[in-house]
Chain A
């Protein structure tokens, strides 16, 4: 039986790596498999590369990368359903907590703070990240995934900022203003130019962008941009005292 040299083995490994087999475990398996077949079929006087090319062609229909893709698909498929379930549960429970929490707050009932904090934390730290994981699997281009990632990050930042504001925790304003700022400066242009390229989504992109500007404007309207709290600046003036 023919025995492959180290150079030939290195050649095969390099070739399957270049053809898209990125996971080391898959590559090791395929390498050994190919070596076995080549060593079995190669006869005296056969050319190594010819035999190798013939062998590798039996492995796929259009490209070798299919094996890598199929493996990744099978490995993530299970988690996909678990995550989808977790997403729905966390989304429903956070919506419920927020609704009850705001009712309690409006009625000045005890426990409103705890309910609201739990609701926002569930919403922005569990539901939104899960939404990203589940939705990003359906998207193909890096641009789409980037826009989705940034919008979800900004969404959870703004939710947390609103919670900090309601609870009068420090840092609320910085979070709130940076959330609105990054959305306006980075997310909006990114979303707009990414979507406008695709003729099918052009109208949708324009409409959503306009709505986004409107919503951000309304949110900014609620923002009080006051000077830093400083005793020298905020010394009560005579006028204030007169009131």
Chain B
């Protein structure tokens, strides 16, 4: 089953920050491939959602960037900033509480 993009969209910032906190630096394509690989293709990040999120994280100061020129094109590498590191801790805590609440709300245990 592939999860719907609406479901993924709300957690995209958390996913990106978490990946960056575990890897030195990553570029956009690498992020999408990594997510695909880790989730065995069940979560596919669309480019249309990824880049707006990356730009907004950059503006908020949660990630830093560096550019590398590869022939005629530029590759932008993203790495997590100190404020991003504390942000991801908050985000993870929030998300784990959210999943707990949702499984309670939707009564997932009895639904199994």
Contacts and interface: CB of A to CB of B under 8 A. Distances in A.
Contact of A28 (B46, B48, B71, B74): B74
Given A31-B73, A33-B29, A75 B48 contact: no
Contacts of B49: 70
B73 A70 contact: no
A58 B74 contact: no
Nearest to A71: B52
A25 B76 CA distance: 9
B109 interface: no
B55 interface: yes
A81 interface: no
B36 interface: no
A186 interface: no
B28 to A, nearest CB: 5
A20 to B, nearest CB: 12
Interface residues of A, number: 27
Given A30-B47, A32-B28, A73 B76 contact: no
Nearest to B67: A28
B72 interface: yes
Contacts of B60: 78
A169 interface: no
B80 interface: no
Given A9-B73, A78-B60, 20 more contacts: A6-B71, A10-B72, A26-B51, A28-B73, A29-B54, A30-B51, A32-B27, A32-B29, A32-B73, A33-B28, A35-B73, A36-B29, A58-B47, A59-B47, A67-B48, A71-B52, A74-B52, A74-B55, A74-B56, A75-B55
